[in-house]
Amino acid sequence: MISNFLKSELLNLKSSFSIIIILFLFTVSPADAAFPAKVRVTKVHDGNTVSIRISRLSLKTERVRLIGMDAPELGQEPWGRRAKRHLKKLISDSDWIVRIELDINERDKYGRLLAYLWTDDKKLINERMIEDGYAVLYTIPPNVKHVERLIAAQKKAQTRKTGIWGKGGLRETPEEWRREHPRN
């Protein structure tokens, strides 16, 4: 008799636990659920490329290309240097710890991880670079998860004449500059 009672209680407990898990999954916002573990940025290479260390236990780093945006190249003075400095500031403001979000294609032709970078207070760094006038919108389908946000950010920067959109701003897009100055 006791064993049947225990079995019944165990089933009820299992059922209750399953319901709690299901409720949790449906009450967590998609943005929270999409965030992977935090990663440490170890280096800012330019206005749209950083290196990260995925695990505290590993010294291996991974190059990450911020997607949805294109910052001036370092050779596009002074904007390439300014974009790098601004990205460095945004990342240092988050104590060099960010969360990465991948899209459909995870790597580019150079083997870099393609990602959106988020701060702990849920600010999209890719979006901030565009909105603050240090990068232009640059989407390559199918990686267009946040394209509406990025379009709005560029419109805001253009309207406010911020950064590259202001007086003495960028003369040519980074893409145009790369065409005229191909890598060796």
Does residue 127 carry a catalytic annotation?
no
Exposed / middle / buried, residue 60 (Cβ in 10 Å: 0-12, 13-18, 19+): exposed
Distance separating alpha carbons of residues 161 and 38, to the nearest angstrom: 34
Distance separating alpha carbons of residues 173 and 48, to the nearest angstrom: 14
Nearest to 134 by CA among 172, 93, 83: 83
Does residue 178 carry a catalytic annotation?
no
User: Choosing from 82, 99, 101, 112, which is the catalytic residue?
Assistant: 112
Host H or E run for residue 151: helix 147-160
User: Choosing from 65, 82, 99, 128, which is the catalytic residue?
Assistant: 65
Q: Tell me the residue type at 3.
A: S
Does residue 112 carry a catalytic annotation?
yes
Q: Which two tokens stand for residue 139?
A: 């989407």
Distance separating alpha carbons of residues 54 and 127, to the nearest angstrom: 22
Tell me the catalytic residues.
Answer: 65, 73, 112
